[in-house]
Amino acid sequence: MTHTQLTQLVQALLDAPTSNETVKEFAQSWLNAEGTPKQAELTKQLVSVAEQNIAFIDETIGFAGSDLAKQMLGAEVAAQLLQHAKDIKAKGAEFCDCPGCVAAKNIIDLKAKIE
């Protein structure tokens, strides 16, 4: 994996509107450390951060069906998310397919090339 490819993966985490603040802060720290020993240290943590922050599809279904989701997203959007999550689970999805989770999954899938 090239440094450019790794940078693109980290940028995807940062850019994903659904990445949580912890992930965004980590990604920004990694990018800010460009070319320094700190970036190498953060790279060693990258897969772990992705693994800790990817949502399993059942977690997404649980959230989408909750009162919290209705409060945060509105009842209609929460219902749409719930149906979408159930649909992709029926097709075999193991993880949420939001941009943040897709970015995390891409990093996890490339674990052997990153670590």
What was the pLDDT predicted at 115?
Answer: 67
- Mean pLDDT, all residues of the chain: 95
**What pLDDT digit, counting tens, does each position of 40-83 carry?**
999 999 999 999 999 999 999 999 999 999 999 999 999 999 99
Asked whether the beta carbons of 54 and 96 are under 8 A apart, the reply is yes
Average pLDDT over residues 22-39: 96
What was the pLDDT predicted at 3?
Answer: 92
Could you give the dihedral angle defined by the CA atoms of residues 46, 96, 71 and 13, in that order, rounded to the nearest 10 degrees?
30
Which of 66, 15, 83 minimizes the C-alpha distance to 23? 15
Average pLDDT over residues 72-95: 97
What was the pLDDT predicted at 114?
Answer: 87
pTM (2 d.p.)? 0.87
- Rg over alpha carbons for the chain, rounded to the nearest Å, is 16
